[in-house]
Chain A
């Protein structure tokens, strides 16, 4: 059977499963559509949050970034897990007690202001749509590679599948399809990692393999990797870095962004009790950690495998002939994500770091520049091929990557649709709307969001990482502080919250646009996006953390300069702090 047929079988089979579950769980009433009837078990909910959370960025892209950056890119690992500690302790239990459907609804009620609710809707839609654009683009690329179709066709297929189960099934469909997707993506991610860890270290558990001995050389595997890449002029994989401020702020931005992203928060409305909201956050992190503990092992082992593929006789010997390159390089060359130029015309693939420090060595060896450019985002997808694993493993990883991208897209679409139908239309434009009308509006806004995201996914406003960073920055700088202050402070009032959200949002957007281009349009940036230009060395990716601090500060100053919130609001804050009585809230 050809690889193409195997891929079709795995991807097609997994999709049939998701669609079957969506039809089986077809939503009935509005409260079913939004929060799956309020009766999802913490472990089930944890798995669904896991699938929701782990997107194309975690599955396809993250290990590749760690492989390229080594220690410095540990920020992704800590940032995208540490946010759950904040969620479990600072937000989830109280929002569950509050017992409403959406994030803007809480902000609107707590800050007794329709305008606060509208500002929250804007923040939510901007953050979610930018995130979905990245997911759709990622899904399109993965489809086009594995189904061997044009990337636009891949994107269309992705849009149709998301449309069917998100619009028809609502959240109940999504909750159970996402449990299925979690299973598919975690199996797909760990199986190749186990094989590779066994090959390289003899240890079947990749997280332990990462700190074990490399079988071929007898050295610890990280030592071996450091040696191989420094021989070729790259920085040491495990080396410490100088710009710690930026590393701290980037990690903080990802953590706060995690806790402020509406599609994750909305999940905590679906558990029966407040205590279950706490457990759900714990279980979610367990399910997420299975992938996140595997990812650094995948990163270092894939980098070592790539290097030994190119330099089979060691770094002191000559690299392989281009004509004898393995099949996977040929296949990825077709997509343009691996490029080879024979700069010194010796027919061999010289892969090394074109740095000034390494130039004398390169010249002495007759090398005329690095000849192989490997896109970081292909590393996880190409990983089984690099390690010569069987065809079914490659089919599996295709299905897993698509599950990751599509499940997150669906969760975000749900958050968008409920913000539009529930907060925008029912909450302000037409409060008299019927339940049926609200459900219809939710489905229409979901469809519109899919069309917009698909259109922009075909022509993304920059690299996926930039788009995702914007989504995190916005969530961190706008929604998280408002939610947290709404629970932990009785003093913060409507004016403070609105001023805080708007300044946090504007500050973050402006800083990003100055370096990345206004609305991400290329060439419209005011300063080149290089470390020398960053204020205090803070990258645009890290600015969300500063935006959040600005948001907190402005909200406190404005609130203290204006009147106290009314007594009934202070009583509301009091009531969300105590779990008792949350039971009634789910029966709308």
Chain B
């Protein structure tokens, strides 16, 4: 599987480490959002058969976190973004 890194171009998937659902970026505020929101964040995941946005870490590369949109049925990758850009677009880590 090849992941088309937004900065470095096509790279073999063996250089990457998989973390999981990209919703992990959107961590609730532990001081105000309550235990239920944190429980949902920590334990509950969607398991779609189809497009899935997920976090990949380019460990044997430039050490960047990526948000990869991958079809879990066909393994086709349709979009790769820097997680930094995604987080900032959501108003995080500005």
A binds B: no
List B residues at the A interface (Cβ < 8 Å). none
